[in-house]
A and B are shown apart, each in its own frame.
Chain A
Amino acid sequence: MSSEKLTKEEAKSRFEKIVSDITRPMTHHYGLNVWIFILLMILSLFGYAYFIQVRDGLGVTGMHDYAAWGMYIANFVFFVASALIGMLISAVLGLSGQKWITPITRIAEMIAVAFAMIAGLVIVFDMGRPDRVLNVFIHGRVQSPIVWDLTVVTTYTLISTLLLVLPLIPDMAIIKKRLTNAPKWQMMIWNMLSLGWIGTPEQYKILHRSIRALLILIVPVALMIHTVTSWLFAMTPRAGWDSTVFGPYFVSGAFVTGVAGVIVAMYFFQKNYKLKDYITDYHFSKMGQLFVLVAMVYMYFNFNEFLVPAYKMKSGDDHHIMTLFVGSWAGLFWFAQIFGNIIPMFLPIFKYFRKPMPLMIIAVLAIAGAWIKRYIIVIPGQLHPFLPVQNVPDSFHVYTPTGPEIAITLGTIGMAITIITILAKIFPVIPIWEVAEEKGIDKETINE
């Protein structure tokens, strides 16, 4: 950023200021207790609801034979979508030489790791026999998209974790020398993750090379996690799912969700962690532009996904399209389309809406729209199968989520936020060494 030559003293004092700015929230806990209390409440509620579900069976949910997949699967798709952001920010933008992403890469990776980790659990909570989860390894069939999904989500979680941990190495070395008053376990983690970093040119070379290799590796894996997740639906012959654009449609939707997630997290950390000097209006403006771009791509696939069958009105599709456009699902459908796609595509074009507050509000609504969109993709199609739904209770014609079901879903979101909270508490949310380097501070000062 700055090319001026700093004196040794200047560099040192600037660097110490960066370190203390970024690490202050790690030692000062503004309102953390309240936050943790809320999270614990959500998690206990989850625990109770899941106990009931295991005891009484999936019958405690609103699911039935004509909506065999409900909120859980919709939530799973949402989680996988949110996890994709790590790859977009770090890999796609990073590899293409975008410098402005430096302060937000770690936030993106934390979101990716948290959501990817919990995504797998969401599937377990959806299982009728969670006690048999190991059957997937014992009897796993390579022909099943679930096995593909399991494989890629695990791989993605692993690479994302590495992409979080590797750039942390120099930061760990910086922190362990300075935050000496931290609890012992925290010191141990920092010491362990610093991996003996002293900042030699050789270490820099290895670090840069391995990060680059992972960034390249994560692109196809990230595309696969959401493509394969879309195949859970597209590989079946059911109306509303039987689509050839589902892969890219899901991936493009995931980018919108992910960008929105990062904007909300940026806003939270900027305000709550007092990082105004690092996460600036410029970064929000850039994210706003990115929002427009990914929403445009998503719009393209939305058109393909809905306009093509709506033009033909094939039997099966006709009913599905009508219920979404003007029928019983129209309210949710148009909410998802307007707030999840149209608004993020148009409003951030104007400078005013790329300011932190307006952009954050647009992002929150986009996340709500994104969640609802997954709900709409998963459920309505099942309620209108090819053959009539007859000789079953009237309640089988609709799907109404129950209390335990909602509690478990909220619980999984609570888990992901808990992971992010913990990560953001024991690790700096902004890469200190990278930001310092960009501000023209020499490697020697950084590693002193």
Chain B
Amino acid sequence: MSDNKEKKSTSRRDFLKSGLFIGAAATTGIGLFSSFTTPKETKGEKVKVMTSDGNLVEVEVNKLEKPKVPKFDSASLDLDELQKRGREGIAGKKWVMVIDLAKCRNARKCMDACQHAHHLKPEQHHINVLQMQTDENLAPYYMPKPCMHCDNSPCTKVCPVDATFKRQDGVVLIDNERCIGCRFCVAACPYSARVFNWSETIDEKKDNNDTYDIELNVPQKKGTITKCLFSADRLRENKLPYCVSACPNGTYWFGDRNEDAVTNGTTGETVRFSELIEKNSGYTLMPELGTKPSVYYLPAKDRVFDFDEEDKKRLEEERHHNH
């Protein structure tokens, strides 16, 4: 397993490269914990950073220091430690994903990377690229659909044992050491984001001796839930989620809403989250349900490709069948 991890990480870009992710020394007397700048910034320039109490202040770039990110060696942690940090989440963060529907051409590299990382079966999708066409007069488009990591999450509300829960950084996780397999969360999720291990998992025998990492949800366990975790294990290492960095088409942006910055998984470019949403009329899925998703979509305007003809036919049949 760790071999695969190693190989994968070379093909992925680091979440926030050194120089992007800057911690500030206490020049102003207030504890500045971290900030976000674009790569264009050079020495001598001033930069806006956010203090831990949420104020924006301007400091000189050369006064900034790299944050001391505590190094965790996941392999050396025991189950209790993994569970504890997994349930707490990463302080000060509010992870968000932006999916640019104009860019998605159904390459499905995200699905592959995700299934590989989480040891899923072919029919199990933490992220699923859907072919969408809500009305015959509307243009079809591809829509990757991960878990929305809702702030008002129907799934965590109904869980009888707190096996699925929302962390301080906004990620909704599942603890398969505690899950009783009642599947109430599957029934409650309006986005069909949850998957159940109905029978023996693919790597059950092989994974059996591995310590369970709640942030990766591996080993998978028969009779428990699995779901998209926003790659919480990768976030822990300051890396982008598996799906985001696997995309060849620049569809995904991922980052921290508190810092108002998201990074593109393909190009590595970092932009302001609020500007990206504003300029492109970003939206969330089914806002009328009040779930408050952490995943945003940019409309499939000026698509950079054509919708596959075969897929078009298939969608038409599906519509026909339904009516």
Contacts and interface: CB of A to CB of B under 8 A. Distances in A.
Contacts of B154: 236-237
A65 B194 contact: yes
Contacts of A392: 123, 125
Which 3 pairs across A and B sit closest by C-beta, in order of nearness? A128-B181, A59-B199, A128-B223
A35 B210 CA distance: 52
Interface stretch (B16-24, B64-72, B126-134, B236-244): B126-134
Which of B145, B180, B191, B289 counts the most A-chain CB atoms under 10 A from its CB?
B180
A146 interface: yes
A238 B222 contact: no
A144 B159 contact: yes
A135 interface: yes
Interface string A57-90: 1111001111011000000000000000000000
A232 B188 CA distance: 9
A126 interface: yes
A135 B178 contact: yes
B219 to A, nearest CB: 14
A393 interface: yes
Contacts of B200: 56-57
B82 interface: no
Given A60-B199, A146-B182, A232-B187, 19 more contacts: A56-B200, A57-B199, A57-B222, A58-B196, A59-B199, A65-B194, A68-B196, A123-B182, A126-B182, A128-B181, A132-B179, A132-B181, A136-B161, A139-B162, A235-B158, A237-B289, A382-B187, A387-B191, A391-B130
Interface of B: 111, 123-125, 128-132, 145, 154, 157-163, 178-184, 186-188, 190-192, 194-200, 222-224, 286, 289, 291, 318, 322-323
Given A68-B183, A129-B180, A129-B223, A59 B160 contact: no
A129 B179 contact: yes
Nearest to B176: A129
A69 B190 contact: no
Contacts of A128: 179-183, 196-197, 222-224
A147 B322 CA distance: 37
A98 B132 CA distance: 60
Is chain B's binding surface mostly helix, strand, loop or mixed? loop
A388 B161 CA distance: 30
B178 A132 contact: yes
A165 B80 CA distance: 48
A132 B181 CA distance: 9
A136 B160 contact: yes
A134 to B, nearest CB: 9
Interface in A232-264: 232-233, 235-238
Interface string A380-406: 001001111111110010000000000
Nearest to B199: A59
Contact of A237 (B184, B190, B318): B190
B184 A144 contact: yes
A388 B132 contact: yes
Contacts of A396: 123
A127 interface: yes
Contacts of B291: 237
Contacts of B124: 65
A141 interface: yes
A230 to B, nearest CB: 13
A388 B130 contact: yes
Nearest to B158: A144
B198 A391 contact: no
Which of B188, B192, B200 counts the most A-chain CB atoms under 10 A from its CB?
B192
A440 interface: no
B130 A387 contact: yes
Contact of B161 (A66, A139, A386, A391): A139
Given A65-B192, A136-B161, A391-B129, A127 B182 contact: yes
Given A68-B187, A238-B187, A390-B128, A141 B224 contact: no
Contacts of B178: 132, 135, 139
Contacts of A382: 187
A47 interface: no
